[in-house]
Structure 1
Amino acid sequence: MPFVLSVARHGARPGPDRVGGVLRRLADDVPAAPATERTAGEELEGVLTDPAVVVDVVLRLVREGARSIGVGAGPLPDGARGGPAHLHARRALEAAGQRGVRLAVRGAVLPDAADAQAVLSALAVVVQRRSAPAWEAVALVGAGRTQASAAATLGISRQAVGQRLAAGLWELERELRPTAVRLLERAAG
């Protein structure tokens, strides 16, 4: 089932164009993100089929900052624009602009879309509030390194790595990601 991500920069503040850089980083870091493209000005849109990749891309975009993110879940007849998934994404993007977390999900199954939005919003808050030292530990351990190996790389104790992971709510993120994936699948119908 397809998912459409619609992303816009907050407000109309002048400044450097960040969309090109975001697209390059997504293409480098997220396997299915090359389907993401600039649609107009500081907006981008992507059609993805794997809900786990949707979660990865959403959290990556949240970490990039200053974006409103709409996720549409539902049918996409022959990949055509204007299908239900695109309409859900557009409505989600409009709703995201009114929310503190700047993230919304709309889908074919409303209760599951609302639940997916709640879980993704919680994950977004975790990502937004994570400190640079916590990100260092998360990056290493998330890539499969042990805490002892991460500690050696960072020049700190294994306990300090554990403290950074705890402060960065790494365990909570790992627990919530599969829930977000399941809810996105259900929201698509």
Structure 2
Amino acid sequence: MFVLTVDQRRSRRDIDRVPELLDRYREHQLIRPFDRTAGDEVQAVSDNADTVVTIALELISTRHWTVGIGIGPVELPLPETTRAGRGPAFEAARDAVNRAKNAPVALAVSGPDPAAAEDAETASTLVALLIDRRTDPGREAVALMARGLSQTDAAEQLKISKQAMSQRLSVAGWHIETAGRTLAARLLDAANTTGSHRP
């Protein structure tokens, strides 16, 4: 199982961004949705590594959040509210979010197998660094591709040639990002030896 513990960065100098986060991920496929645990911290529970990677990278890219991913078993049955959950995955997520505050991209992964968790953390960090270092034109091009547009349609929308679009995506590392996300999710699954639970 995966537990996401997410803490708002620089919250004393910023607005409360928790309501926006809760609304954004309300419809995501999570076993237990994000729930405010205390102050500007939220938690969610998932058994899907792809979902965890997607949410973690989205949150990190905003630069407003510190993300901890905990791996391990949880006490079943899960309570209705995420904040009432207990078990090793919740403890691992607490450790991860605390370590993430000093990590290169504000992300950390903890679990029962430290080496496996470190591998998943490294892969996720590399993808996050790739995204963080994109230029604005690169972000714009990747965003259009993420919406499902073809390169030709995206180029037309940006009023550039198909060749220029291809070059922007190459410089932005779009294909590498896709492979990196897959690798990060695969490594999270490998680190998760507790099986899955469906509500």
Q: Taking structure 1 as the reference length, what is the TM-score of the superposition?
A: 0.90
Q: Secondary structure of 2:163's partner?
A: helix
- Please say if residues 141 and 168 of structure 2, whose CA atoms lie closer than 8 Å, have aligned partners that are also in contact: yes
Q: Deviations over 1:24-66 (max 9, x none)?
A: 22336x4449711221111111111100000000011012213
Q: Which residue number in structure 2 is paired with residue 57 of structure 1?
A: 55
RMSD: 1.8
Question: Which residue of the other structure, out of 147, 150, 153, is the alignment partner of 1:146?
Answer: 150
1:41 aligns with 2:39: yes
- Please say if residues 75 and 86 of structure 2, whose CA atoms lie closer than 8 Å, have aligned partners that are also in contact: no
- Please say if residues 22 and 64 of structure 1, whose CA atoms lie closer than 8 Å, have aligned partners that are also in contact: no
Larger fraction in helix: 1
> Partners in 1 of 2:32 and 2:134 — Cα distance?
27
Q: Which residue number in structure 2 is paired with residue 163 of structure 1?
A: 167
Q: Which residue number in structure 1 is paired with residue 187 of structure 2?
A: 183
> Partners in 1 of 2:135 and 2:19 — Cα distance?
25
> Partners in 2 of 1:33 and 1:138 — Cα distance?
29
Letter in 2 for 1:42: D
Q: Deviations over 1:91-142 (max 9, x none)?
A: 0011111222211000122111000000011111122222332222112222
Cα distance change, pair 40–184 in 1 and its aligned pair in 2 (3 A): same
Cα distance change, pair 99–132 in 1 and its aligned pair in 2 (3 A): same
> Partners in 1 of 2:168 and 2:25 — Cα distance?
25
Cα distance change, pair 34–148 in 1 and its aligned pair in 2 (3 A): farther
CA-CA distance at 1:72 after TM superposition: 0.3
Q: Which residue number in structure 2 is paired with residue 83 of structure 1?
A: 87
Q: Which runs of 5+ in 2 are unaligned?
A: 80-84, 194-199
Q: Secondary structure of 1:82's partner?
A: coil
Letter in 2 for 1:23: L
> Partners in 2 of 1:143 and 1:186 — Cα distance?
29
- Please say if residues 7 and 66 of structure 2, whose CA atoms lie closer than 8 Å, have aligned partners that are also in contact: yes
Q: Secondary structure of 2:14's partner?
A: coil
> Partners in 2 of 1:156 and 1:26 — Cα distance?
34
Q: Which residue number in structure 1 is paired with residue 82 of structure 2?
A: none
Q: Which runs of 5+ in 1 are unaligned?
A: none
1:20 aligns with 2:19: yes
Letter in 2 for 1:118: T
Letter in 1 for 2:56: V
> Partners in 1 of 2:71 and 2:16 — Cα distance?
28
Deviating beyond 4 angstroms after TM superposition, the runs of 4 or more aligned structure 1 residues are none
> Partners in 2 of 1:143 and 1:92 — Cα distance?
31
Aligned residues: 187
